[in-house]
Amino acid sequence: MYDYCENLRLERRTNGILVLTLDNPPSNAISDSMHDELRRVLEDANHDPETKVIVITGAGERAFSAGGDIQDMRDLLDDARRTLDGFIEARRLLHALLRLEKPLIARLNGHAIGLGATIALFSDLCYAVETARIADPHVAVGYAAGDGGALIWPQLIGYMRAREFLMTGDPILASDAAAIGLINRAVPMSELDAVSFGMAERLAAGATVAINLTKQAINLPLRRHVEGMVDANVFFEAISALSDDHREAVMAFVEKRQPRFTGR
């Protein structure tokens, strides 16, 4: 059913648990192809009778996903068509996350940055290794946080805290994130599997019709909120992609120097 996956590793476990592993070492940065595959898997999972619960994680122990690929951003600077296609795909991924009818558990084996943080925070439950950092540093590369960050962070931790993290791009340690309600729990690596897969097994063994409908009922206000605003937010990010500051930020990363922003 998922034979189109080349950048995601899929593993079926007992009792209807499907494990998705973002596999693009060393940081599991999300490429265009991985982005597309993840969206398709989430859409198809709704029609997969063998899947009751999905666990998403990253390969290795360094990162869940450290956001976008800087070299890919460099290639997009002069490719308006691909840039536009990327923002359209970002919108489709957010819809897929919100319309997934089955529980999605994020197992943060390491840092969750940018889009990686968005995927984790749009999951139904999120458990992280205590040393992981979570951040949405879109502004660091001259992007507005339009592909989900500005939509989900305020819902989880309030507008004041969300503004501080999103306008600065500063990271938060997983243990602190758990303390303020951004994620569920932060645990030592030795306990991460027991917590993440323990919950997956508990949900998979439960009354899945009731669990799935409860999830959908809880998410309905969030879905209405996000789906009413996602087009505007993606548009904001698209506008920022045309700015001189975005080009300067990307080139500064590529050239390993400090950016010189002009506010244009």
Read off the pLDDT band of 43 (50, 70, 90).
Answer: very high
Q: What is the structure's pLDDT at 19?
A: 98
What fold, for 8-190+228-255?
2-enoyl-CoA Hydratase; Chain A, domain 1 (3.90.226)
Q: What is the structure's pLDDT at 88?
A: 80
Average pLDDT over residues 205-217: 98
Cα separation of 146 and 137, whole Å?
11
83 pLDDT more than 90: no
Q: What is the structure's pLDDT at 68?
A: 64
Average pLDDT over residues 125-153: 94
58 pLDDT more than 90: yes
CB 149 within 8 A of CB 102: no
Cα separation of 149 and 106, whole Å?
16
How high does pLDDT run on average in the chain?
92
Of 212 and 7, more confident: 212
CB 171 within 8 A of CB 131: no
Q: First-to-last CA distance in the chain?
A: 46
Q: What is the structure's pLDDT at 30?
A: 86
Residue with tokens 């729990």: 185
Average pLDDT over residues 164-176: 98
Read off the pLDDT band of 52 (50, 70, 90).
Answer: very high
Q: What is the structure's pLDDT at 183?
A: 99
Q: What is the structure's pLDDT at 166?
A: 98
The domain ranges of the chain are 8-190+228-255
Average pLDDT over residues 55-66: 94
Cα separation of 24 and 57, whole Å?
12
67 pLDDT more than 70: no
122 pLDDT more than 70: yes
80 pLDDT more than 90: no
Average pLDDT over residues 122-138: 97
3-state secondary structure the chain: CCCCCCCEEEEEEHHHEEEEEECCCCCCCCCHHHHHHHHHHHHHHCCCCCCCEEEEEECCCCEEEECCCHHHHHHHCCCHHHHHHHHHHHHHHHHHHHHCCCCEEEEECCEEECHHHHHHHHCCEEEEECCCEEECCHHHHCCCCCCCHHHHHHHHHCHHHHHHHHHHCCCEEHHHHHHCCCCCEEECHHHHHHHHHHHHHHHHCCCHHHHHHHHHHHHHHHHHHHHCCHHHHHHHHHHHHCCHHHHHHHHHHHHCCCCCCCCC
Q: Which of 223, 8, 4 is nearest to 215 (CA)?
A: 223
